[in-house]
Amino acid sequence: MPRRCSICRKEGHDKRACLKKSFGNTYSSLRNYVNHTTFYSHIKEKKAKKKQGRRQKADCQYTELLMCIWLLQIPEITYNKETILNNKQKILDHTKFKYNPATIEEYFKHFETNATDKKIKKYMLNIKIDLIDLIFKYIYLTGKNCTFGVITKLMKDNHLNSRQKKGDIYIEYDNGPFTSISVKKDPKCPLGNYSTEKFASECYLKDTVNKIKQERISISKEFIPNYDTLDVVQRKKKYKGEKIPGTHDKWKGREKVNTSLYDSKLPIWKLQEQIINNPEVQQKLKESLAPNVTFTNIEYNGDSWRTIPCYTNDTDFKIERCKLLDTNDSAKIWYIISIDNKLTYKADIRVKSGYLFSGSLQIVPTYLLESDHLKLKHL
């Protein structure tokens, strides 16, 4: 029979090893705990906190669920974690709440793992009713992938592609119109991430796309021995290299590649600039940031509301390279975007896929923060 730990009940190690793994010290520290149950609870708490520090997937953010709960205005629910979890079934059974059964548990799981009473209260107390009519027919929690026919039809009727879909939540009213809500975790969250090579392909910049692809592969070959003899899985393994101790998702090989891209004068960045300088690409970026739609698009970032504008042909959209925001310690180049002569966004181009040889670089726009305005005040 294999050894079973008397603390965590898992096979393959004893309680001494479990204690050392969790605290990096000796078995004698167990005296600080009344019993094994208390000790195991402490281990689970430590693991939960460690998990919270990791980069989270954005597919089922609990803040989207919080927004739905606030909109439903269920009297018994106050803004604390325990009350929300205790009323989970009441939320799910609400006749006005439409959700995907395949993903709703992921939302609650993300909520249970990451939400705290302090975060919940801060996030929900900043929600205002000035932009939303609370007398509605249904709320649709769509997230990133919509499964509701009525919302899919709304997208088709407005001729929107996946880049232009802003809403994570859609509100349907009895008299027909919709309101979409884009839910951001905080004001620093990106407004989207768009493949520059896809933009270029759609604008028939085939030569530029081919050159960028060759540059991506050429740089990768410098760090992957015998690149041409390896399959994709082997290339990714070599590309990542060994994990950097004490980090969740940093790898020695990948960091070396990123470091090699710190120089903004490299050909791969100059080719990216060629793409962004193309007027048709700029038009597609403009349409992606604020599409012209027949319904209301609203955004909430945990701090403030805003109505997402509809950029039309009359909207003056200007994107410029901004070397002032470049740094010598990141694999990015920066742009600033003005709307009707008002400085509004910043955007960086970065390696987004994690593997330079197999994925396009992406442009990631965000709002300018107060610190950015101070840095750019002379422009």
Domain around 75? 62-183
- 341 in a domain, yes or no? yes
Mean pLDDT of the chain: 85
DSSP letter at 185 equals S
Co-location of 128 and 165 in the same domain: yes
Q: Is the pTM of this model over 0.85?
A: no
What integer pLDDT is reported at residue 128 of this predicted model? Answer: 79
Co-location of 263 and 140 in the same domain: no
pLDDT in tens, 22-40: 555 444 444 444 455 555 5
- List, in sequence order, every residue forming a beta bridge with 138; answer none if it has no partner: 172
As a whole number, mean pLDDT of residues 177-192 equals 91
- Give me the percent of the chain exceeding a pLDDT of 70: 85
What integer pLDDT is reported at residue 159 of this predicted model? Answer: 94
Q: Are strands 305-307 and 296-300 parallel, antiparallel or unpaired?
A: antiparallel
- 55 in a domain, yes or no? no
Residue that is last in its domain, among 183, 206, 223: 183
What integer pLDDT is reported at residue 188 of this predicted model? Answer: 87
- List, in sequence order, every residue forming a beta bridge with 300; answer none if it has no partner: 183, 305
- 303 in a domain, yes or no? no
d(CA 148, CA 155): 11
As a whole number, mean pLDDT of residues 333-355 equals 90
What integer pLDDT is reported at residue 9 of this predicted model? Answer: 65
As a whole number, mean pLDDT of residues 99-115 equals 94
- Give how many domains the chain has, as a whole number: 3
Co-location of 120 and 160 in the same domain: yes
Residue that is last in its domain, among 183, 215, 233: 183
What integer pLDDT is reported at residue 45 of this predicted model? Answer: 54
As a whole number, mean pLDDT of residues 152-170 equals 93
- 53 in a domain, yes or no? no
CA angle 84, 87, 92 (to 5 degrees): 105
